[in-house]
Amino acid sequence: MAAYSVSVALTGSGGAGAMTAGQILLDAASKAGYYGLMTRSMGPQIRGGEAAALLRISTKPISSLDDYYDVLVAFDWGNISRFAAELPLSKSSIVICDPEQGEVPEPIAQYGAQAAALPMKEIAGSVPGGRANMVGLGAAATLIGLPIEAVIQVLTAQLGRKGEEVLAASTAALRAGAEAAKALPAAAQLPATKHDGAERWNISGNEAAGLGALKGGIKFVAAYPITPATEVLEWLAPALDKTGGALVQAEDELASINMVIGGSFAGLPSLTATSGPGLALMTESLGLAVASETPLVLVDVMRGGPSTGIPTKSEQSDLNIAVYGLHGDAPHVVVAPTSIVDCLFTTQWAVYLAEALQTPALVLSDQAMGQSRNIVPKPAAVPYTAKRLVAEGTLEAYKRYALTESGVSPMAIPGTPGGQYVADGLEHNERGTPSSQASDHQSQMDKRFDKLTNFDYGNHWADIEGEGEIAILTWGAITGPVQEAIERAAEQGIKAKLISLRLILPASPEKMAEALKGVKKVLIVEQTHGQQFAKFLRAHYDLPQMAVVNRPGPLPIRPAEIVNRLLAWK
Amino acid sequence: MNATTQLTAADFKSDVKPIWCPGCGDYAVLSAVTKALADLGKPREDIAFVSGIGCSSRIPAYTNVYGFHGVHGRALAIAAGVKLARPDLTVLAAGGDGDGLSIGGNHFMHACRRNVDMTYIVMDNQVYGMTKGQASPTTAPDWCNSKLTPEGTGISPVEPARLALASGANFIARGFAGNLNDVARLIVEGINHPGFSFIHILSPCVTYRPEQREWKNAVHPSADASPAQLVAEAMHRLAADDGYTTGVLFAGNRPPFMPERKEKATFADIEKKFVS
């Protein structure tokens, strides 16, 4: 356990209010000056399934869960065996449970944590209108040393509009829980902190991706609902409405991607968001966007696969389809956010890249980032917005696919006189006329490859931190645990360098070679069963001696596992 | 300086030579489309013409407007995207019976009910020509001239106009490629009618369905004095229809779908919600 943080899990059957309690706790921690992270674990049921709010509260910014939870508050034990593995506890952890719900079940008891009974339902029953989740929340906050006043402050802001009665009942239940907690065994305490006064945000990865899209200049979105990407769309729908854009719910993913192609062809920066099954349906038309050089952004919030897989839980296993899924030689851009808040930057950058390069850009987020909330310092504004090279004025003898130095050719937008051309998935000549000639295929293929490889991606291709003879190569949501592992390893005398790839495609072999100078060993960390990332790296980069830490979802990779692997190398 | 009023049908044709077989009905449809566009009197650059895959889907390249020749079956989705992004453009989509009613069948149903203001031309020859003669969703069940279904498909064909009506299309017309001027008039009417307009054109494939040369004797105008304006009335007429009635079959008055786009807030307003 890190000295600067405390981890709390709140669990219960759907309707027990674990998620609500978790969100209030996260907000309250922020009010009290702490940083925080809340991921969620949900069953597949729409109502009544198991739900866990998994929090870590910290005195400094964090983007990783800890190795175990210090406090587990179980409102009930419904379906606990399904997700007990996602609730690691230590012997010094405290399990708060309602004696009314029976003994601590074996999947939890086996961790050997200390159990403490708290009759949450009974206490809630003594407060008119009181609910057990508020009792549990009050107890959890008090146990870890979070001032109850901060919780009440958040509750007041959230419940104020529901009327005084509701607020009074919740506040009373909260205080009753806080009072009862005094009789419970001591738990890990939050170190004291003070808000530095600088603005902080409470944001989820899916919201951040939506905001990044908006700031990048997206004006048109067509999409089909799918877990865990739907929140990107639910956030964007009203936001686009307020900023002069539009979102359309399509009949399926085939329509979504093609509507987006149409919107972009017509001149608007356009985006869709989906998850694995939707991405699979969209791949044919992604090829169309590559061939017709139509810019678009596709946000894929990855979940467990293949097929329907585990819709509510995270995995990094869409890497292969994102990189290799298109038929034919189809160069395109694939980027990946390196944290929850980086979903903002990376999506905004993806809009810029797609528009500048006139190609589809895929953003590989995942459930662990998309549906988790993070308290973070206000993200800095960046200048990346859609700047498409367009053909303007009255055009003559216009060639849509003219061979240029950069490979990018000026695009005529409908309405431009003389710019009429036919965008085509058929191979074509410079004018856009279908052609099956070898020379046209070669030159247009070169153009589509060269425009991506000639482009200057700056230093955004990877997040690189630290120095050492060991480098840890990783990506996406696993970046947080790796950062923390590197910090901890340093305390044990192991120096390691972080290289978290943001630009997956096109590969950056020269920059990687530079970053790997002096590195003798490489540890690759990823959340797939098939070592997709390691295989991708081996195909595109020269790497020294390497080892891989990998596991499929849904269990997150925790810092201790990575530290242990580094120690084994010592 | 708008010289477009003087544009002729020829001005709407490109210099790309069609891949179609001699005698294909699609030549006449191309002429009807370009005549319709000339009659419409809009500048070429303000028109977008979208298609999928198949013989007839090659049509945008033979015109001189902005075009998109997409993947198989998705013309209507691209066309909807174009119109939703750019309501100022006149949007047409075109393709064959296989592209629109088989692989693209789901989009056809939803385009009818979504009612985006655009015009969809299906050139129906009851066969897959580009893959050399297989049964399409409008092929009769006992057509045995495909190696793929030598005993016939044994399944009943889709009647496009009925499907369009049941799905909520706002304007439905049928034409015969042999009657070029009538088809051009139907296309103009379809474009001018608000919402989703479906123009079903019987366009013979003389290569794989030579018997369709007889269509010229089968087609006939409607016995009804005016197009149906009520769905129930149109359904009643189409239920009794022989599939060869030409003219406007339904003209509804459902308002088109078009999200309003207006700036009402700044990024700073939107970001305020994240402040913790």
Which residue ranges form the domains of chain A, and what is each CATH number?
5-181 (3.40.920.10), 202-377 (3.40.50.970), 389-455 (no CATH), 460-569 (3.40.50.920)
* The CATH number of the domain covering residues in B8-274: 3.40.50.970
Q: What are the structure tokens assigned to A258, written together?
A: 């093609």
Segment B211-251, tens digit of pLDDT = 999 999 999 999 998 999 999 999 999 999 999 999 999 99
Residue A558 dihedral angles phi and psi, to the nearest 5°: -105, 150
Separation CA A174–CA A133 (nearest Å): 9
* Residue numbers of B between 110 and 169 with CB closer than 8 Å to A: 110
Nearest by CB to residue B78, choosing from A201, A239, A261, is A261
Q: Which residues of chain A have pLDDT under 70?
A: 1
Q: What pLDDT is recorded for position B5?
A: 56
Record: contact A263-B81, CB cut-off 8 A: yes
Q: How far apart are the first and last CA of chain B?
A: 56
Residues of A in contact with B266 (CB under 8 A): 243
pLDDT classification of B1: cutoffs 50, 70, 90:
very low
The answer to whether residue B74 neighbours chain A at the CB level (below 8 Å) is yes
pLDDT band at B4 (very low <50, low <70, confident <90, very high): very low
Residue-wise over B117-143: b if at least 16 C-beta within 10 A, else e? bbbbbbbbbbbbbbeebbbbbbbeeeb
Burial A131-170 (b: 16+ CB within 10 A, else e): bbbbbbbbbbbbbbbbebebbbebbeeebeeeeeeebebb
pTM exceeds 0.90, yes or no: yes
What pLDDT, on a 0 to 100 scale, did the predictor assign at position A46? Answer: 75
- In this structure, chain A runs to a length of 570
Q: What are phi and psi of A57, to 5 degrees?
A: -115, 135
Contact A285 B70 (CB under 8 A): yes
For A483-532, list the strands marked E by DSSP. Answer: 496-501, 503-505, 521-526
**Is A414 in contact with B71 (Cβ distance < 8 A)?**
no
Interchain CB contact of B43 with A (< 8 Å):
yes
Q: Do B85 and A270 touch (CB under 8 A)?
A: yes
B2: pLDDT strictly greater than 60: no
CB contact under 8 A, B68 and A261: yes
What letter represents residue B169's amino acid? A
Count interface pairs A-B at CB distance under 8 A: 185
In angstroms, the CA A312 to CA A305 distance is 11
DSSP assigned state of B99: I
pLDDT at A15 (0 to 100): 87
Question: What CA–CA distance (Å, rounded) separates A223 from A341?
Answer: 23
The residue ranking higher by pLDDT, A336 or B4, is A336
For an interface test with B, give the residue of A204, A422, A426 to mutate (most B CBs within 10 A): A422
Are B94 and B59 in contact by the 8 Å Cβ rule? The answer is: yes
Q: B47 to chain A: which residues are within 8 Å by CB?
A: 414
Concatenating the DSSP letter of every residue in A334-397 gives EE--SSTTHHHHHHHHHHHHHHHHTSEEEEEEEHHHHT-EEEEEPPPP--------B--SS-SS
Task: Provide the token pair at A564.
Answer: 């242990």
Cβ B67–A259 below 8 Å, yes or no? Answer: no
Nearest CA-CA distance, residue A528 and chain B, Å: 32
Domain boundaries, chain B: 8-274
Of B16, B81, B89, the CB nearest to A258: B81
Question: Do the beta carbons of residue A504 and residue A553 sit within 8 Å?
Answer: no
Nearest chain A CA: its distance from B265 CA (Å): 5
Measured between CB atoms, which of A201, A214, A422 is closest to B69? A422
Number of other residues whose CB lies within 10 A of the CB of residue A388: 18
Note whether B45 contacts A423, CB cutoff 8 Å. no
Q: Does B267 touch chain A (CB under 8 A)?
A: yes
Check if B2 contacts A (Cβ < 8 Å): no
Measured CA angle at A53 (ends A529, A105), to 5 deg: 80
Residue A448, pLDDT score: 98
Q: Which two tokens stand for residue B1?
A: 């300086």
Residue B3 has pLDDT above 60, yes or no: no
Burial of B87 (0-12, 13-18, 19+ CB in 10 A): middle
How far is the C-alpha of A534 from the C-alpha of A520, rounded, in Å? 17
**DSSP SS3 for A109:** helix
What is each CA distance from B102 to A286, B51, B137, in whole angstroms? 21, 15, 6
Instruction: Give the pLDDT confidence score for residue A54 in this predicted structure.
Output: 97
CB contact under 8 A, A243 and B74: no
Question: Residue A462's beta-bridge partner residues?
Answer: A501
Q: What radius of gyration, in Å, describes the C-alpha atoms of chain A? A: 25
HSE-up of residue A319 (Cα within 13 Å, Cβ side): 26
pLDDT of A1: 53
A390 touches chain B (CB under 8 A): no
Nearest by CB to residue B84, choosing from A263, A267, A287, is: A263
Per-residue model confidence (pLDDT) at position B271: 96
B37 touches chain A (CB under 8 A): no
Say which residues have a Cβ less than 8 Å from residue A265's Cβ, sequence separation at least 6.
A292, A294, A414, A423, B48, B68, B78, B81, B82
User: Which residue does chain A place closest to B103, by CA atoms?
Assistant: A254
Using DSSP's 3-state secondary structure scheme, residue A190 falls into coil
* Amino acid at site A492: Q
Residue pair A427/A440 in contact by the 8 Å Cβ criterion: yes
**How far apart, in whole angstroms, are the C-alpha atoms of residue A304 and residue A557?**
14
- Judge whether A28 is closer than 8 Å to chain B, CB to CB: no
pLDDT at position A103 is 94
Residue among A549, A504, A552 at smallest CA distance from A527: A552
